[in-house]
Amino acid sequence: MLGHLVYILAGVSLAAAVGRQGAGELGSLFALLGVIGLWRYGWASINFTRAVLFLRLRHPAMRREAERAYAERPVPAHAYFMVTTYKIEPRTTTRVYRSIFEAAGRSAGGATIVASVVDGADLRAIRELFARMAPGLPGVKLLIDQIPGSGKRDAIARSLRLIARQAPSSRDILVFVDGDSCVPVDLVARTAPYFTDPRMGALTTDEAVEIEDTPLFRHWFDLRFMQRHVMMCSMAYGGRVLTLTGRMSVFRADLATQPSFIRQVQHDHIDHWRLGRVHFLTGDDKSTWFWLLSRGFRMTYLPHVRSVSMETQPGPRFLGSAIALMRRWFGNMLRTNGRAVALGPSRIGLFTWWSVLDQRISIWTTLTGPTAAVLTSIFVTPMALPAYFAWIMFTRYVFCWALSLFRGGGFPIVYAPLLYFSQVVGAAVKSSAMFHLSRQKWTRQGGGSQTAPVPLGPRLRAASSTYMQLLALGWFGLGMLLLTGIL
């Protein structure tokens, strides 16, 4: 509480420092911030409202109907678990697979687990753990696929082909799990009923995170998962979420084992007018999402089911680690964004389509405020910066309170500056990723698409990306000079 009080007093002091005379010189800046704020916070209010409606009305009704229909089925779903493990701490691997074995053992229709591993030590550890737990796991089958380290997409494709040989039916489910994520023990009973709707292609769930020794990184992740929860609820209200999280998502098994689905995961790409064919290294969750989206399937969110992922800060410092993760996340998002927008509102729904398009628009609306404030402070009055930061402190504080209400209320005061950091630095990272779609790199695994010497052609294309980005930023800066009345 003391931190909140100090934060509020600091914001009030900044606003008071501007004074009436200083504020009189900032009319254009205030007008611009007001218009942008009305747009962005109006959009946020729509999403908050839809999230509440989903949590209070739509999801409870959908859950009741799904459970009623599932209870009438004569045969319960068989659960397939596909787990990819690579360079994970042994204690994390043990905990993750124990949770999967326990969840599989609770599957009324039996379960098959396909574990994709590279390291022989992982193979032995998983096999030994299963042998110890096997007496309590009737109806559970374990398949371990040891593969060369050729990439996660190849690993997923191989595992899916193994599962396809089991000929799963439309009533069965297939759980995608990352090797650092624990699943709830009653996962199958809670998720299988939703697939009684033949339109349902996949679902994803709420997430929690465990991070040791790096409190700022942990707070940042907790805040992101809080935002994710609200946005997932809002998008699920319309029947289609914007991502099927790779940490854990559940698919209708017969869909996820179709040859075209497997090919898309393994060999996904886009053909770009300037960069040529861009093969996807990361972002397998975007590939699975787009396959279902383009075929008209529904994808929903279960707020009452939660997985737990064990994360580690990939670098020694928070700033570098956060930027590295955002480069991967936003690069994956933007590589799929254009083709999703091209599907059009008639195929994917107006709200979903606009939400996908807004992923691009929000880059520039987010950068408008700080850019306009800096330019105004340079060319008009230095009071622009304290006025702007007073506005930022107030709006982000209120926004964090609104987010926290979906988690029971209350939040650490560090959430407010972390929210602003995520928005502004995230927008800057997105603006770069949008022009450099061919840049891809894993964080924890350390693989990348540009580790070998780069030939002349790709270097020229990279130079053209930098030129296009600088040109866009130049036009954006000129627009800010005009909108603030400086020019």
Fold of 73-316: Spore Coat Polysaccharide Biosynthesis Protein SpsA; Chain A (3.90.550)
Q: How far apart are CA 128 and CA 114, in angstroms?
A: 15
What is the number of helices (H) and of strands (E) in the chain? 17, 10
Residues of the chain with CATH 3.90.550.10: 73-316
Q: What is the dihedral of CA 144, 146, 151, 156, to 10 degrees?
A: -20
> Average pLDDT of each block of 10 consecutive residues along the chain (487 residues)?
91 85 77 91 96 97 97 96 92 95 96 94 94 93 90 93 95 96 96 97 96 91 96 96 94 97 95 90 93 97 96 91 94 94 95 96 94 93 91 95 92 96 96 90 54 72 89 93 88
Q: What is the pLDDT of residue 444?
A: 55
Q: What is the pLDDT of residue 22?
A: 62
Which DSSP string do the residues of 197-226 spell out, in sequence order? STTEEEEEEEEEEE--S-HHHHHHHHHHHH
Q: What is the pLDDT of residue 17?
A: 85
Q: How far apart are CA 347 and CA 353, in angstroms?
A: 9
Nearest to 286 by CA among 322, 335, 251: 335
Q: How far apart are CA 36 and CA 62, in angstroms?
A: 36
Q: What is the pLDDT of residue 273?
A: 87
